[in-house]
Each structure stands twice: as C-alpha cells, then as structure tokens.
C-alpha cells in the first residue's frame, strides 16, 4: 500500500515538473522586434513627458495641502456612509480612511480658497454634517491644517525617494554584473517610472503618497524581473562562448519566459482582486501596480536585454562569476 502511494506521488511530481506555462521548445525571436519596441517605447515616453508638462498631475491632499480631521465613531463600518454624506458639502475633494482601529477614521478635506477663516468654516461644516447624520457620539481626536509648503516638501521627498532608489539599484547591478547591465537596468526602470507617471497624467487619477509607494514597488518588481533575465544572460555568456550576442539574448529571454509570465500573472490576479474588492481607498494604488506590472514585464524583455546590444556588450566584458556575486535569480 505504502509502495503504491509512493509510486503515485512520484508520478504526480514528475507530471508537475513536466508542466510549464511556456514549453521548453519555445524560441521566440524577441531581439528581431527590438527596434519596433524601442520606437514604441520612445513614442510612449515622449507622450508621457508631454502630458506631464501640459496636463500635469492631479495631486492629492498630501501634496496640495488641506485639512485633516481624526474622529472616533461609536460604531464600526460607517466610513462608506460618512464618505457619501460629506461628499455633498461642496468642499472639493474629501478622502476618508481607517486610521489604526476600524472605528478611528481620518478625514482629509481639500484646502479651501482663502485664509485660515475659510479653513475653520470648512471644519465647522464637516463637524455639523457628521453630528447631524451620525449623532453626538463622535469623538474628534485632532484637527490639523496642512499648508502648501508641507505639500511641496512632500513632492520633493517623493522625488528624492524615487531617484535614490534608481541610483542604489544602478550601483547594485553594476557590482553584481557589469556597467552595461547597470545602464540597461536603469533604462528599463526609468521607462517604467515615466510611463506610470504618464498614465496618471492621462487619466487624471489622484497622485498621492500611496502612488509614490506604488512607483517604488514597481521599480523593485521590474528590477527583479530584469535580474532574472540578466542572470541567465551571464550564465549563457559562459556556456555558449561562440554564440552571437543577439542569439544568446534571445535564448536567455526564452529560457526565463515561463518564470517571468507566471510571476506577472499571479501578481496581476492578486492586484485585480485588490482593485475590485479593496474599495476606493486603495483603488488608485492597485491600478498603478497593475499598470506597473504590465510595463515592468514588457521592459524586462524588450528594453533591459536589448539595451545590452546598444551598449556593445562584448565577451571581454564578462560578468562577474557566481562565486563573487551569488547565484540567486531574484533580489
């Protein structure tokens, strides 16, 4: 009985190992499409830059400044009805989110035109509406005013965070591989960041601190995909010493294609669930991540690897060995 179960388990494991999302025999000519990919990417990057300077971004309260009101409610689950109630006040953008406990809600109100008196009047309107619709059992924990100066400082901090991440990753790739790999990876990351910002400029979605966090996550995801491809390129450079570089890059991309697509698809399924079921609070964040996974997968195949041809990678520029850099295929 035990022997039969063991034989069945081994057979099942072998069947699982034989299953691959992309067959081993696949040999797609990715490098022959690199010129078309470069042209398309350049066009979309140019469009994103134009949209950024012409339409700009729809900055959220985090960057524009506004009013913060923290309130503790007597019951949980009132955030949706509060959002609907306050949305009719005509005070512009009003965002609500849970702050720690389910009955602790943070209300963000768009900065009103005028001086401090206008901000105080807006606070009075919010409190009056809440007490009218939800009774007097509300406990106002704090009320703060975020000025435009703080918003500009947050914009500067967000830019510094993204630039610092790009520089740190460029140095990491340089030490792990060679300078051609480093520049190729940074080109792919810049491609993803610019297209994500362009998407926000085109759609008019709110650009806030959560979006900055999404961009940083996109940078990390894209780099992970790129490192997987570069690891295989490094391995094949040592394995196929006479294979032309273009053919070697094609082989490397095809070797890692199953892993790349499976990672992207499983990540997308989780993000789509967040977007559809997570509510309005994380909808923009989830959408940014969905877009980032798409462009990150594209750039790891059509930007990062083909960039090595443009940067004239040669056999003499052999990447560092696994003994000095490690053999993991992800970061």
Q: Quick one: DSSP state of residue 317?
A: G
Instruction: Say if residues 314 and 216 touch (Cβ distance below 8 Å).
Output: no
What is residue 298's predicted lDDT score, i.e. its pLDDT?
A: 93
pLDDT given for residue 148 in this prediction? 60
pLDDT of the residue at 22: 61
Residue-wise pLDDT for 218-253, tens only, equals 988 888 888 888 888 888 888 888 888 888 888 889
Helix then strand count (H, E) for the chain reads: 12, 6
**94-99/139-146 β-pairing:** unpaired
| pLDDT given at position 124 | 86
Q: Taking a C-beta distance cutoff of 8 angstroms, is the pair 249, 232 a contact?
A: no
R_g (Cα) of the chain, nearest Å: 25
pLDDT of residue 318: 55
Q: Which of 256, 194, 224, 202 is CA-nearest to residue 26?
A: 256
Residue numbers of the chain with a pLDDT score lower than 70? 1-26, 99-100, 147-152, 280-281, 314-331
- Give the pLDDT of residue 16: 46
DSSP 228-285: HHHHHHHHHHHH-TTS-HHHHHHHHHHHHHHHHHHHHHHHHHHHHHHHHHS-TTTHHH
Complete domains list, the chain, with CATH: 26-57+151-325 (1.20.1640.10), 66-146 (3.30.70.3400)
Give residue 274's pLDDT: 87
Instruction: Please tell me the number of Cα atoms within 13 Å of 138 on its side-chain side.
Output: 21
Residue 326, pLDDT score:
44
> Can you give the pLDDT at residue 13?
47
Angle, nearest 10°, between helix axes 179-203 and 209-239? 150
> So what's the pLDDT on residue 48?
94
């Amino acid at each position: 009985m035990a022997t039969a179960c063991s034989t069945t388990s081994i057979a099942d494991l072998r069947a699982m190992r034989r299953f691959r999302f992309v067959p081993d025999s696949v040999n797609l000519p990715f490098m022959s499409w690199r010129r078309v990919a470069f042209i398309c990417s350049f066009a979309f990057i140019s469009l994103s830059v134009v949209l950024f300077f012409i339409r700009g971004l729809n900055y959220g309260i985090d960057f524009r400044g506004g009013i913060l009101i923290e309130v503790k409610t007597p019951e949980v689950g009132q955030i949706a009805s509060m959002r609907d109630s306050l949305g009719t006040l005509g005070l512009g953008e009003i965002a609500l989110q849970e702050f720690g406990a389910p009955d602790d809600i943070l209300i963000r109100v768009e900065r009103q035109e005028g001086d401090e008196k206008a901000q105080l009047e807006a606070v009075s309107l919010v409190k009056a509406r809440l007490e009218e619709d939800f009774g007097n059992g509300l406990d106002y924990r704090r009320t703060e005013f975020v000025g435009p100066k703080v918003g500009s400082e947050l914009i500067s901090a967000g830019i510094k965070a993204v630039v610092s991440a790009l520089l740190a990753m460029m140095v990491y790739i340089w030490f792990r591989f060679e300078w051609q790999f480093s520049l190729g990876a940074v080109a792919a990351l810049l491609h993803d960041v610019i297209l994500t910002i362009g998407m926000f400029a085109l759609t008019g979605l709110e650009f806030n601190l959560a979006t900055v966090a999404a961009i940083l996550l996109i940078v990390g995801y894209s780099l992970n995909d790129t490192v997987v491809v570069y690891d295989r390129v490094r391995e094949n450079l040592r394995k196929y010493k006479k294979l032309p570089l273009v053919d070697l890059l094609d082989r490397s991309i095809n070797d890692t294609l199953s892993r790349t697509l499976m990672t992207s698809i499983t990540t997308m399924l989780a993000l789509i669930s967040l977007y559809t079921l997570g509510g309005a609070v994380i909808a923009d964040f989830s959408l940014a991540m969905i877009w980032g996974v798409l462009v990150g997968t594209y750039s790891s195949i059509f930007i990062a690897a083909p960039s090595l041809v443009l940067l004239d990678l040669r056999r003499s520029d052999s990447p560092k060995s696994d003994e000095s850099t490690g053999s993991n295929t992800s970061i």
